[in-house]
Amino acid sequence: MQYIDSKGFCEDLDEGKYSLLLIHSLQKGDPLIQSILQQRKISGSLTMEMKQIILQRLKINGSLDYTLSVINELYRLIKEELEALERETKTKNWIL
């Protein structure tokens, strides 16, 4: 919660930063998100209502689930690589 307090709710949208979540929804061709982002270009920021609409659309478009699946796959690949390094060096990674 401290991060949200210091960063602000969906501040990345105000800043025009495109996250994996947003890119995924845009690739699905969501016209509502596209329209809201166009408005952000003009006004320089988004209202709380607009941010909540985008968040809702991210959920509807499956972008949250998609991002979680990408994170899980990256975690799996990293873990496999670390295990391979442990086998190769015959040394257990003490951090894990």
Residue ranges of domains in the chain: 2-89
pTM of the model: 0.78
R_g over Cα of the chain: 19
For residues 63 and 25, is the Cβ–Cβ distance under 8 A?
A: yes
Model pLDDT, residue 23: 96
Q: pLDDT, tens digit, for every residue of 8-18?
A: 888 888 888 99
- Rounded distance between C-alpha atoms, residue 83 and residue 35, angstroms: 46
Model pLDDT, residue 95: 77
